Chains A and B, each alone.
Chain A
Amino acid sequence: MEERTYPVPFPTKVNILRGDPDEMPNGETEIPSSTTVRKAKMATRSTDVPIGPSSPTEDVLPAHLTPDDRVGLLRAMLLMRSIEERAMNLYRQGKVPGSFYDGFGQEAVSVGATWAMAPADRLCVLHRDLGAHLVRGVTPAAILSQYMGREAGITSGRDGNVHFGDHRTGCVGMVSMLPDMMLVAAGMAMAFKLRGEQRCALTWFGDGSTSRGDFHEAMNWAGVQNLPVIFVLENNQFAYSTPLHQQFAVNPVERAAGYGFPGVSVDGNDAEALFEATRQARERAIGGGGPTLIEAVTMRMHGHGAHDDMKYVPKALVEEWRKKDPIDRQSARVAALGVDVEALRAEVRAQVDEAAKVALAGPMPDPATVTDRVFHPHDGEEILLQDGLAPWSGFGATKPATS
């Protein structure tokens, strides 16, 4: 059989991380101690899934995070978990209509990545990424109101649960057809690039999403146009009940090479690793270096929704991942800084208690308004995404946005 050779279209841009520090994008060799980069292993059975590094990385203060940042990351994750636990209780009490979807165990993915984003950056947020909304400045009361279909919810009851984005925080809410928002994020990045702005867009999507055409269209588009966009693949091992080996034959992070840009795999249960990978990707993006695919390897610790008993997941697998809880990990780091983590937990719980009171006291939407806002009245009012909070100290902020 005749051997064929193919031209390499972007020889200088292809730079895939394969666990080798010398191959960092932009020639960076620095690997912060909290960032673990590795080559993802392809799962062949549902019990044989990549579960990240087996031992916690040595804790040295990362170069780009102050102690306040580390506390802020923990606080945002605690807040996310506390809100979702409260919402699950409200669901069981019949106060949350429909079903309820949470990101228990995946808090590091949204909180860590969002921590690296600037006010003028734009985000398209997935359903297990409540932490992104919190970091950008959405209030817990607005979120609980949203879950309960109240007027004060982000969508005023137009959409449910985690299907929301508060445009005042620079975020666009997801739609259920995954990963549609990859293209929307690419389009935002395209606009930034066309206008010569130093901004980038970021979106999350799951392992199941990589099977759909919009994944390919967005990856290809971003590669062709070298867009300032960050794609965060939230690999939580299951798409509803479907395990990885029934989803793809090649680990999607390796596909990035086929689109001409780097793919990196990080421990998705380490908020600081997510932060660092995103920070580097953002630096590349706004420096004209183009897109990055970040695979955050994590585990969906609850069912797809509150209605899902998750019987298809081996118990041992869940137990193994429970030991890697992202909040426990960050709590240990923060405690080592001398911070009273229990006091922080109590403070967050009190904040959520108060938010729940506010949300429960709020009215349901008026059915007479149901046809409002299908169309913009074309009255000259222009509504665009606005800047969100960006609490990372690197942007000059010192106060965590979630306080």
Chain B
Amino acid sequence: MTEMTYLRAISDGLRTEMRVDERVLLMGEDIGVYGGAFKVTDGFIEEFGPDRVMDTPLAESGIVGTAVGAAVVGLRPVCEMQFADFVSCGFDQIVNVAGKMLYRQGLPVNITVRLPSGGGFSGGPYHSQNPEAWFMHAPGLKVVAPSTAEDAKGMIIASIRDPNPVIYMEHKNLYRRIKGEVPEGSYETPFTARTAREGTDLVVIAYGGMVHTALEATHDLDGASIMVLDLRSLVPLDEQAILDAVRLCSKVVIVDEANQTCAAGAQVSALIAQYAFEDLDGPVVRVASPDVPIPFSPPLEGAVLPSVDRVREACRQLLEY
């Protein structure tokens, strides 16, 4: 085990898999010589060369579309969208070409698309988004969102090995803020939920960056026993883990950093309403960003993103219900 940041853990996972599988290549804007906008691939071009750490034209549809072509003839491309926001330019290739290829003609598309997502640092409307729900709604795509360094490494390796297209959400606000012990060598983290903290009075369900917000908001909340469930994967969604947690705790708060309408949390909420209604001792409570573009100025952005205080207050009110 080595302690490293979330960002280094992603790098470690990519490097580990590239060393054992020569089919893996990285494609993206400024990822080679420059090492990536966030330096996830810093030093890679020296080890693997410019063919496998490919500086591409500024063309997100091109990155995904060519990755699909390379994948169906035997490579395993990992695409980096410089910011998750820019994936809108590659949306069509992901949703209509990659996501439907297997269903339509029995041809799997083994690509991974990395999306540095999330706000909290004045990135403004085009460098702060959490677009994971766009892809949850499109059949044929897996969507994962690790929150710890260990999972970040294990899930990037699992994503590369998964024969399906995987959208890998990596929260920028975790990159250097979160550190953890990471196993050496190669391992896969399954696309299932993880209990981030045990508890019995209330469960907070979150993923990605919001797992840490949830942990901080509830680590000492009036002595209540609060469970935090880290979904880790949104597609497939670990429905059993969600329902088990609700049955155990009977009260649930769901936290999304994404805009609230039709977000991942809305799906979790619907699942609970349909299958765990009898187990609830209170309304399903959601905390998410309101449906506004993520603003630039710190007080405005702070008013939009779910904060520790908002999550704590939501839990407190539900506990008193």
**Residues on A close to B: CB < 8 A?**
122, 154-155, 158-159, 163-167, 172-173, 175-177, 180-192, 194, 201, 213-214, 217-218, 220-221, 224, 373-376, 378, 382-385
Fill in one digit per residue for B89-109: 1 if any A CB lies within 8 Å of its CB, else 0: 000110011001111111110
Tell me which residues across on chain B come within 8 A of A122, comparing CB atoms.
73
Interface residues on B, range: 35 or more
Least CB distance, B73 to chain A, in whole angstroms: 5
Tell me which residues across on chain A come within 8 A of B124, comparing CB atoms.
none
B147 sits at the interface (CB 8 A): no
Least CB distance, A106 to chain B, in whole angstroms: 23
Are the C-beta atoms of A184 and B62 separated by less than 8 Å? no
Asked if A220 meets B107 with Cβ closer than 8 Å, knowing A175-B96, A190-B66, A375-B102, the reply is: no
B65 sits at the interface (CB 8 A): yes
Least CB distance, A363 to chain B, in whole angstroms: 18
Are the C-beta atoms of A163 and B104 separated by less than 8 Å? yes
Asked if A221 meets B92 with Cβ closer than 8 Å, knowing A184-B69, A375-B164, the reply is: no
Q: Bound state CA distance, A182 and B100, in angstroms?
A: 17
Residue in A166, A190, A382 whose CB lies within 8 Å of B69:
A190
Least CB distance, B179 to chain A, in whole angstroms: 31
Are the C-beta atoms of A221 and B59 separated by less than 8 Å? yes
Asked if A175 meets B100 with Cβ closer than 8 Å, knowing A155-B105, A214-B61, the reply is: yes
Please report which residues of chain B, range 65-99, place their CB below 8 angstroms from some CB of chain A when the two chains form the complex.
65-75, 92-93, 96-97
Q: Assuming A217-B57, A382-B163, what are 11 further A-B pairs, CB within 8 angstroms?
A: A158-B103, A163-B104, A172-B105, A177-B96, A183-B62, A183-B93, A184-B97, A187-B67, A187-B69, A214-B92, A375-B142
Residue in B57, B92, B102 whose CB lies within 8 Å of A220:
B57
Tell me which residues across on chain B come within 8 A of A192, comparing CB atoms.
73
Are the C-beta atoms of B72 and A188 separated by less than 8 Å? yes
Q: Which of B56, B69, B108 has most A Cβ within 10 Å?
A: B69
Tell me which residues across on chain B come within 8 A of A221, comparing CB atoms.
56-57, 59, 62, 66
Are the C-beta atoms of B102 and A188 separated by less than 8 Å? no
B293 sits at the interface (CB 8 A): no
Are the C-beta atoms of A373 and B103 separated by less than 8 Å? yes
**Residues on B close to A: CB < 8 A?**
25, 51, 56-57, 59, 61-62, 64-75, 92-93, 96-97, 100-108, 139-140, 142, 162-164
Are the C-beta atoms of A218 and B62 separated by less than 8 Å? yes
Asked if A383 meets B61 with Cβ closer than 8 Å, knowing A191-B73, A191-B75, A374-B139, the reply is: no
Q: Bound state CA distance, A189 and B175, in angstroms?
A: 35
Asked if A187 meets B70 with Cβ closer than 8 Å, knowing A177-B92, A180-B97, A376-B102, the reply is: yes
Q: Bound state CA distance, A218 and B25, in angstroms?
A: 19
Are the C-beta atoms of B105 and A164 separated by less than 8 Å? yes
Are the C-beta atoms of A167 and B107 separated by less than 8 Å? yes
Tell me which residues across on chain B come within 8 A of A185, comparing CB atoms.
69
Q: Bound state CA distance, A163 and B118, in angstroms?
A: 37
Are the C-beta atoms of B162 and A378 separated by less than 8 Å? yes
Residue in A180, A213, A375, A384 whose CB lies within 8 Å of B73:
A384
What are 28 A-B contacts with C-beta separation under 8 Å?
A158-B104, A163-B104, A165-B105, A166-B105, A167-B107, A172-B105, A173-B104, A177-B96, A180-B96, A182-B65, A183-B62, A183-B93, A184-B97, A186-B66, A187-B68, A187-B71, A214-B92, A217-B59, A218-B62, A218-B65, A221-B66, A373-B106, A374-B103, A382-B163, A383-B107, A384-B72, A385-B72, A385-B73
Asked if A191 meets B69 with Cβ closer than 8 Å, knowing A220-B57, A221-B62, the reply is: yes
Are the C-beta atoms of B106 and A167 separated by less than 8 Å? yes
Least CB distance, A141 to chain B, in whole angstroms: 17
Least CB distance, A228 to chain B, in whole angstroms: 12
- In the A-B complex, the 8 residue pairs with the closest CB atoms: A187-B69, A183-B65, A187-B66, A217-B62, A184-B69, A188-B69, A191-B70, A376-B163
Q: Bound state CA distance, A258 and B107, in angstroms?
A: 34
Q: Which of B96, B100, B163, B164 has most A Cβ within 10 Å?
A: B163
Q: Bound state CA distance, A378 and B162, in angstroms?
A: 6
